[in-house]
Structure 1
Amino acid sequence: ATADPTGAESVGATVVAPIVEESAKAVAILLIFLFRRRSFTGLVDGVVVAGFTATGFAFTENILYLGNAFGEDQQIGNSGLASVTAATFFVRVVMSPFAHPLFTVLTGIGFGMAALASRRQRVRRWLLPVLGLLLAMGVHALWNGSTSLFGPYGFYAVYAAFMVPAFALLTWLAIWSRQRELRTVSAELPAYAAAGWLAETEPLALSSMRARSMAREVAGRGYGPSAARTVGEYQAFATALAFLRHRAGRGAAGPDFAEREQELLHHLWQRRDVASPALAYAARATGRVWTPPPYIDYGGYNPYKN
């Protein structure tokens, strides 16, 4: 468009690359969102899926950049710390390994918020992922164009003033979202304990990362790796059950709620003999004792009574 190699390179890095790369990574998130919808339930899922997608992209891109830099050094005879390879490694691997995950996590957050929306909120379900993608493109463009936009020290200015604080903020958001999901587990699973599908000690054990980890370790030490995997599967199914019930309370569960609920309960029942004792031990060891909230009546909740 400019017939100027320097200008073309700047436009390619600042405009073309963010649009193409973030769109490509967003497609991967979209496919999981559409075809593994049951496993895509909120912000944490969006952050994790986007993080893995972007990390894989960055891994591949770093190999290409380092390979090109090494080839350039071989041609001009550079070596050591003054080489192009060393400079590329420092900038891409040491200083900014989180850059691509940071960009794409914004898209993942958009999809995660869309997953939390009810089926009636169709505009929100489509608008939020698009907004997240646009933010990802904008931040990516700011990062790529920092030097051309703000001079030779623009990279360091953007890195210190924007990228590091943004990374810290997103890290806090991921931790906060995880704690919020654990509170959802604690609030929703007592209904199933009251119905007899879970032991009384399990809801709060399953809402503690420490207790969950301890339960897997106890099962693994006592009965081997397969038992630890069984406990992990039990925890995953119980968490999915809690989120399903939470979505149902907000009108976002869909018409297959009862079928999906019974399916998850069936998976739990198959693993209960192995997982329940380990979770009970972890609950006692971590001091987490279950008592039903006094303001919720679970007495009549047992639609699956045998």
Structure 2
Amino acid sequence: MKNKNVFKLALLFLISTITFPTFAEGYLNEYYVVFTSVMDAEDDPWKENPKCTPTTKATHQKGIWNVQYHYANGSKLTSEYLSTIKPKAGKCQTFIHLPEEITGSGTFESYFPNGKQRARIDYKDGVYNGKMQFWFANGLKEQENTLIDEVSQGEYKIWHPNGQLALSMRYKDGVQTGTRQRWYENGEPWTEVRFENDKMVGPLKQWFRNGKPERLGHYRNGVRHGEYKVWFEDGKPEAVLNYQVGQITTAQCWNKNGAQISEKACIQRFKGED
């Protein structure tokens, strides 16, 4: 049960943070598995935090309830499912789209207030097992991946609200493997890097929205190793660093006007990055 709760909390965090533009707009450390999709706050179906009501029915099994949620206007929020928890009426939170303590086998579905599908998740014997899919309120696909006993397997994809692919990566037994790519909303590439056993290896490539390179570096066993270059958005160089197993050995940095800064200040600027 502990692993299951950890899985749900982690996934809840990712689902809830997907609406924050800063994840797609700003630079993040390359290690993060980040949802790059963004949603305009005015289009957020949860901005008014709509009320919902659970309907529960006892089953022939002790401690098992048949549960279904509806919005205040009576429209369906979720499909029926069996649960070991008897829910209480309250506000509709993201967790409803990934119910706690689901039991039995089947396919769980949930819906936005506008009636369009939000989630479709396969489960077996009380464990999320099979395809997991989420949609935006506009009807376009948001996320798709496969779970085997709640462990990610195979291809994992995220889309932007406009239908452009935002992220593509692969898992093997819950471990990142192969190439991970991210794209901007216009389809232009953002980052590209390869993973082996959940660790970055080989070249990392990162671009600005204008198509110019932002970063080009190399990784060995999950840490920076070798030359690592950084540019400003106008194409001027910001830094040329050399790493030895994650430690900076030499560094050159420039400001936006092209003036070189001290090596000490340069190292300090990038010291906190992994």
Larger radius of gyration: 1
Q: Higher helix share goes to which structure?
A: 1
Question: What TM-score results when the alignment is normalised by the length of structure 2?
Answer: 0.27
Q: Which structure carries more strand by proportion? A: 2
